[in-house]
Structure 1
Amino acid sequence: MERALPHAVPLGQMEVFQALQRLHMTIFSQSVSPCGKFLAAGNNYGQIAIFSLSAALSSEAKEESKKPAVTFQAHDGPVYCMVSTDRHMFSAGDGEVKAWLWAEILKKGCKELWHRQPPYRTSLEVPEINALLLIPKENALILAGGDCQLHMMDLETGSFTRALRGHTDYIHCLALRERSPEVLSGGEDGAVRLWDLRSAKEVQTIEVYKHEECSRPHNGRWIGCLATDSDWMVCGGGPALTLWHLRSSTPTTIFPMRAPQKHVTFYQDLILSAGQGPCVNQWQLSGELKAQVPGSSPGLLSLSLNQQPAAPECKVGPARSCGSPGRPGVCGQVSLTHIHTHTPLPPGADSCRQQLPGGCLHQSGLPCLLPVLLTSPPHPRDRDCFLFYFLQIKFQVFLPCTFFPRMETKSV
């Protein structure tokens, strides 16, 4: 995933410059294709790389399958957020949003379908876009970021129809309350605001940092992640990761996690979170830390849940980890993906909550193979397993890797 070299770089130092670029590369966003077979990842250089999950996770994967199938310059600045529909992928970060066709995105020389910029207050103002949110029932896309507003765009016409104002500082995250036409936003001002899309008005405000049990002044008041499930919300950032009952606006569970969290999501009866620290955390709704799945990066900025199985042929084998303790991997980002296998439990695993022999799902050819946590399926009599695996995104091989024999999943 190379970027054009500036003219000031002597040709003899080109390899050094490219190596430094890769060393300082950060992955801010990712999105899985509608078929579940491809992963798009956006970095701090404005590039988007498309990986073939089916090829990379194959038991016969080769070195080439670890690299992007396609890489292209999408934006002038970092790609902070990406979302996908059944046909399109949307990316944003440097003040505008661009649309890409998944059917065309694997072709070299792919060009955006269109690009739009929200109506900012001044022509000189180009604030970053930190979050994108699809509203399927409205066929709309909501953008939010550095101008402290939520901009609603009609995907049919490409026009911006509404601007929701209320935040006093820039916005980090968005979430959709699906059973009611409400959108939640969290920002640097420490507030979670609920917006009614029918009236385009703010209907509820939760200032998390004002609750003593949630407040952590040494971390600040900012809200960096949001997720909703019916009448429940989980949010975190500077304040502690907390589960809230929205109707009563009361915190019900404070999760004992010191590090600020950058991403959170509901999954079945669990809550998954990640942020500062090398682990993805799996929480019970009661606040109990069920498990931590370690990665090779000191911090995780994005998690992506793939609902479509990309590699059901994956086998069981020993875990391997690329890099060294305390040192980030190639690009410092992991993607969480879900596979539903229709095979009986392997020998040696008495229940779906037991770790398999070897402790992981073997993914031949990936740059960083980590342990897999087996969780109970929705119905106890069902013998299927839900396997979680981590894909360490690898843009290009540039450093030698040291492989360790095994890295355990830490259960608490």
Structure 2
Amino acid sequence: MLDKNLYNTVLCQTFSPCGKYLIAGSIYGQLAVFDLDRVLNPILELFSAEYNKPKYIHELENEVQICSLLTSQKFLIVGTIGEITGWDWKSLVSNKFNKPSWIIKVPFKKSGLELWDVNSMWLSEDESKLYAGCGDNNIYSFSLEGGKLISVYEGHNDYIHCVHGKGKHLISAGEDGFVKLWDSRTPSAQNSMEPHNSKASRPDLGKWVGAVALGDDWIVCGGGPRLSLWHLRSLDAVTVFDIPDHGIHVAQFHEDCVVAGGSAKFLYQLTYSGEVKVELPISATTVYSAILRTTPNKLLTIAGSSPDIDLCTTFNYRDQVLHFRQ
């Protein structure tokens, strides 16, 4: 029998709105709840080998893969296969975990029985709309109050890896090699890019784009093509980052830097001009999730193809390793 403690993969993470907990989701349908107070400030008298393990591990029905996670003030939002669920934070950070507060079923074609992965989610700043990028090539927007389907954004011709947004604008990246820009008020893409047809191309790794993020004036993306920085208005590739990866799965902006990783030995922090500021060694052979915050304290956690999650409090080096196991 496969030992989940040894062969687990963590695809997604999020912090609780209070900042006291880290939640990580695994391919085996497990939600691990780490008590960050216990991890960051262990009491010497109560110190044990369990301090860097989850306070709770909750299991979803049918052990369905957890593909994506989001935090709202009221709920932990969990994207799985064919549905999105909302879990009350009080139940999640206790042993009373039972049934979700709400369930949104992702639409699927009546002619087929296949349910699609909810690979990526983004929540509007006012927390009224939830956007989900799915395995059927579509992005769906739902009302977070009531779960009503609002819009369907069609345009990709292969499954979506990543969806991100800023204000009324959305950006998506897919297996088809396209990065598409959307106005959330209209269902058709406003613009698109093909990094595999640019100077970022790496034909040996394919055209897929695994990660994309939207800034005020910039877009960062990568996948099979190299990690690259694009000017939002001109859609020109300004910087192609020279890092030794074999595919990008994480790309985001933080202050005046780009944070990125994937199939590589490090998580990178880079200047817009391409200088490597920080190389963080990682436990996983492939990074699928890196989340950071600056309040109530600085914290970066890195997860992927390993049951171990790296924790950094300065963004410059690895302080601790958390263990996704009981």
Provide TM-score, normalisation by structure 2: 0.90
C-alpha distance in structure 2 between counterparts of 1:78 and 1:393, whole Å: 20
Given that 1:53 and 1:310 are in contact with CA atoms closer than 8 Å, whether structure 2 keeps it comes out as: no
C-alpha distance in structure 1 between counterparts of 2:164 and 2:319, whole Å: 24
Given that 2:252 and 2:259 are in contact with CA atoms closer than 8 Å, whether structure 1 keeps it comes out as: yes
C-alpha distance in structure 2 between counterparts of 1:182 and 1:80, whole Å: 23
Cα offset, 1:329, TM superposition: 9.5
1:69 maps to which of 55, 58, 67: 55
Q: Which amino acid aligns with 2:268?
A: N
Cα offset, 1:278, TM superposition: 2.5
Deviations 1:278-332 (A, max 9, x none): 21111011011112011222221110113333599xxxxxxxxxxxxxxx99614
1:98 maps to which of 78, 85, 93: 85
Q: Which residue is equivalent to 2:166?
A: 177
Structure with bigger gyration radius: 1
Cα offset, 1:391, TM superposition: 4.6
Deviations 1:233-252 (A, max 9, x none): 00000001000011111000
C-alpha distance in structure 2 between counterparts of 1:66 and 1:44, whole Å: 20
Residues 1:290 and 1:138: Cα distance change in structure 2 (over 3 Å): closer
Tell me the SS of whatever aligns to 2:92.
coil
C-alpha distance in structure 1 between counterparts of 2:242 and 2:162, whole Å: 22
Provide TM-score, normalisation by structure 1: 0.72
Tell me the SS of whatever aligns to 2:290.
coil
Q: Which residue is equivalent to 1:87?
A: 74
2:131 is equivalent to residue 202 of structure 1? no
Greater CA deviation, 64-73 or 124-133? 64-73
Q: Which residue is equivalent to 1:225?
A: 211
Cα offset, 1:75, TM superposition: 5.0
Given that 2:68 and 2:78 are in contact with CA atoms closer than 8 Å, whether structure 1 keeps it comes out as: yes
- The number of equivalent residue pairs is 315
Q: Which amino acid aligns with 1:254?
A: V
Q: Which residue is equivalent to 1:132?
A: 121
C-alpha distance in structure 1 between counterparts of 2:96 and 2:61, whole Å: 14
2:323 is equivalent to residue 394 of structure 1? yes
C-alpha distance in structure 2 between counterparts of 1:71 and 1:253, whole Å: 42
Cα offset, 1:56, TM superposition: 1.0
Q: Which residue is equivalent to 1:405?
A: none
Quote the sequence identity (%). Answer: 30
Tell me the SS of whatever aligns to 1:235.
strand
Tell me the SS of whatever aligns to 2:179.
strand
Structure 2: where are the runs of 5+ without partners? none
Cα offset, 1:62, TM superposition: 2.7
1:278 maps to which of 249, 260, 265: 265
Q: Which residue is equivalent to 2:13?
A: 30
Given that 1:191 and 1:206 are in contact with CA atoms closer than 8 Å, whether structure 2 keeps it comes out as: yes
1:118 maps to which of 106, 110, 117: 106
Q: Which amino acid aligns with 1:228?
A: L
**Higher strand proportion (structure 1 or 2):** 2
1:256 maps to which of 214, 239, 242: 242
C-alpha distance in structure 2 between counterparts of 1:335 and 1:256, whole Å: 25
Cα offset, 1:214, TM superposition: 1.0
C-alpha distance in structure 2 between counterparts of 1:332 and 1:186, whole Å: 27
Given that 2:258 and 2:269 are in contact with CA atoms closer than 8 Å, whether structure 1 keeps it comes out as: yes
Tell me the SS of whatever aligns to 1:153.
strand
Tell me the SS of whatever aligns to 2:4.
helix
2:140 is equivalent to residue 151 of structure 1? yes
C-alpha distance in structure 2 between counterparts of 1:279 and 1:22, whole Å: 23
Given that 1:83 and 1:133 are in contact with CA atoms closer than 8 Å, whether structure 2 keeps it comes out as: yes
Structure 1: where are the runs of 5+ without partners? 1-16, 313-327, 340-371, 374-387, 398-412
Residues 1:150 and 1:254: Cα distance change in structure 2 (over 3 Å): same
